[in-house]
Structure formats: C-alpha cells, structure tokens
C-alpha cells in the first residue's frame, strides 16, 4: 500500500469509528468510550507503522484533523453544559466533523483511482 492510501485509512478509520461513539450516550459509558477510541486510534497507527510511520506520513492538516477529535471529545462529552439548551448540537458537531474527514478521504481516493495508470 502506498503512504497516501495509509493516510486515507488513518483518517477514515478514526472518523468512522468516532462517528459511532454517540450511540453510547450514557454517563456511565464515558470512560469505556474514551478508552476504546484511544486504543483503536493508537493500535491503528501502530499497526500501520509496519509499512511507514503513519503519523509521519500524515500532512500537517491531517494531523490537526485527527488531533481535533480529542478537542471534539472534550467539548461534546466532558463539558456538554457549554451548549446549554441546544442538546442536539454536540451530535451535530460530531456528525459534521466526521463527515468532513470521510468526504476528504473519499475525494482523495477517488482522485487516485481516476488518475491511476
């Protein structure tokens, strides 16, 4: 696999996995949710290092995007009182942020497919 495909894999798996976390909405599920996300992301990046250093092959924008999931987690899970009466806003933020990464990866992979020799 090329480093570009590995980069898109890192973005797709992180965004796709994180987008499923709102299905676990109870307060008692906060710590397991945080641990599972962290373990999944670290294991995914660690397993990809067999080919190349996954974190090193990511561009700066992609690193900021993947790191942004940590900030999104804090904003939507740890300090939900920030949103006040707008109870739907944390879910909307997760959906939109995940969709941006998935769309970015899809466009990059489609471009690779179209331009492949």
User: What was the pLDDT predicted at 78?
Assistant: 78
Mean pLDDT on 68-95: 85
Question: What does the pLDDT look like over 28-77, one tens digit per residue?
Answer: 888 888 888 888 877 877 777 666 666 677 889 998 998 999 899 888 88
Distance CA 110, CA 28 (A): 40
Nearest to 55 by CA among 82, 23, 15, 65: 65
Distance CA 115, CA 117 (A): 6
Sign of CA dihedral 8, 103, 71, 19: negative
User: What was the pLDDT predicted at 93?
Assistant: 92
Q: What is the pTM of this model?
A: 0.82
């Amino acid at each position: 696999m090329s480093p570009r495909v590995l980069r898109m894999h890192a973005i797709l798996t992180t965004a796709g996995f994180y987008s499923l976390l709102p299905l676990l909405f109870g307060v008692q599920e906060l710590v397991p949710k945080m641990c599972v996300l962290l373990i999944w992301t670290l294991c995914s990046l660690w397993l990809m290092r067999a080919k190349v250093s996954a974190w090193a092959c990511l561009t700066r924008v992609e690193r900021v995007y993947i790191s942004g999931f940590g900030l999104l987690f804090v904003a939507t899970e740890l300090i939900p009182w920030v949103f006040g009466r707008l109870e739907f806003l944390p879910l909307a933020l997760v959906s939109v942020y995940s969709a941006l990464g998935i769309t970015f990866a899809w466009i990059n992979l489609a471009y690779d497919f179209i331009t492949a020799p």
